[in-house]
Amino acid sequence: MFAGSALAGSWGPGHSFTAAGPLWLFGGRWRCRSVRFPQEVVVEAFLPTYRAMVADELADRGLSQAAIADHLGISQAQVSKYLSADGLEGAIAADERVQATAREVAEGLAQGTMDEVAALAESLHLVRRLENRGPICRMHEERMPELEGTGCDACIEPDSRVMAEHRVLVDLRVAVRRLTLIEGLADWIPHVGSNLAQAVEGAEGVWDVAALPGRINVIGGQARVTTEPSFGASRHVATVVLAVRDEHPELRAALNVAFREPLVERAREAGLATVGFDASYEARRERVRDRLADTGAEGPLLLYHEGAFGIEPVAYLLGEDALAVAGRAEQLFADPA
């Protein structure tokens, strides 16, 4: 097997495969089908376009070609080629998620609020989204028509609990790295510490929500994390996430911070809906859910309470996932309070 080519061989009478693809015998006739991997679309179509878009965003922020090359891990000649390129893959370049991520990564790299590891993770997260019924999926179907109608199921395992939990943990690790780079965040961490939590799709209880066992604490004047995320590590923040998901299933992540009155105005200016609720822990999931239903608040949210006896005033920044929450935290807390 694999003799004579990178992909050639057989697995029994009447069946063989070559580098061009499998050969199937139907009614005495051979028909050739080309096996194309989604990674080929990523390399051939997504990567050149995405790199060109990030390079262009970095150039707009005043970075030299040498600096851009250093950030992207490519040669200066390649940067020059990307900046002069006009052959972007239209379906990729036109996607709002690609545009937003390219801007976000470029801004983070240019401002020093995102390192290369975080930039890579953001980009991989984007690829996963585009592969799941996005332009990469559609382009893959174009290159391999046999996939038409499979709904990406041949490449994506939407029902895999293990994979879903793994993606949540990866999102949290990357988001935590971004949060600890926010200079002003330490001023907004409550005495009990902050936590970042994200629920798996279809979450029902706190064990379906991953968070930081040791929370986010202030060490040496900076926000620091000393533990890895795990499922079932939070009760209070997880309960808020579950309550919000009852009304808005698309919002799966939350960060708790200290509440102060100016935060409400900051959040509204950033386009977030703000909703206050009673601080009591009793039946909190039901009360937060009912409060959201009563107010009709939609989209990214800032929930908050003003505290009570023995309960510190706290706000919860809600978003689609931990990465989205980290991005909004940068908007709200980048400057010292």
At 32 the pLDDT is: 40
For 89-148, the pLDDT digits (tens) are 788 888 899 999 999 999 999 988 888 888 888 898 888 888 777 788 778 777 787 766
Same domain for 135 and 77?
Answer: yes
288: helix, coil or strand?
helix
Residue 259 lies inside a defined structural domain of this protein: yes
Same domain for 192 and 314?
Answer: yes
At 130 the pLDDT is: 84
| Residues in the chain with pLDDT values less than 50 | 1-32, 158-159, 336-337
Distances (CA, A) of 153 to 41, 157, 243: 17, 6, 30
Residue 48 lies inside a defined structural domain of this protein: yes
Q: What separation, in Å, do the N-terminal and C-terminal C-alpha atoms of the chain show?
A: 64
Residue 155 lies inside a defined structural domain of this protein: no
Same domain for 265 and 208?
Answer: yes
Q: What is the CATH number of the domain that holds 272?
A: 3.40.225.10
Same domain for 24 and 55?
Answer: no
Residue 41 CA to residue 54 CA, distance in Å, equals: 18
- H helices within the chain, ranges in order? 38-41, 47-60, 65-72, 76-84, 90-93, 96-111, 116-131, 135-143, 161-179, 236-247, 261-269, 284-295, 322-333
For 159-188, the pLDDT digits (tens) are 466 668 878 988 999 999 999 999 899 999
Same domain for 198 and 141?
Answer: no
At 10 the pLDDT is: 36
Residue 11 CA to residue 225 CA, distance in Å, equals: 51
Same domain for 184 and 324?
Answer: yes
Helix (H) and strand (E) counts in the chain: 13, 13
The total number of structural domains that make up the chain? 3
Residue 316 CA to residue 54 CA, distance in Å, equals: 31
Same domain for 193 and 92?
Answer: no
Answer whether 174's CB lies under 8 Å from 124's CB. no
Residue 158 lies inside a defined structural domain of this protein: no
Residue 142 CA to residue 214 CA, distance in Å, equals: 47
Residue 154 lies inside a defined structural domain of this protein: no
Same domain for 49 and 20?
Answer: no
At 191 the pLDDT is: 93
Residue 313 lies inside a defined structural domain of this protein: yes
Same domain for 322 and 198?
Answer: yes
Same domain for 46 and 188?
Answer: no
Backbone phi, psi, residue 32, to 5°: -95, 130
Residue 163 lies inside a defined structural domain of this protein: no
**Residue ranges making up the domain that contains 60:** 38-147
Residue 130 lies inside a defined structural domain of this protein: yes
Same domain for 285 and 227?
Answer: yes
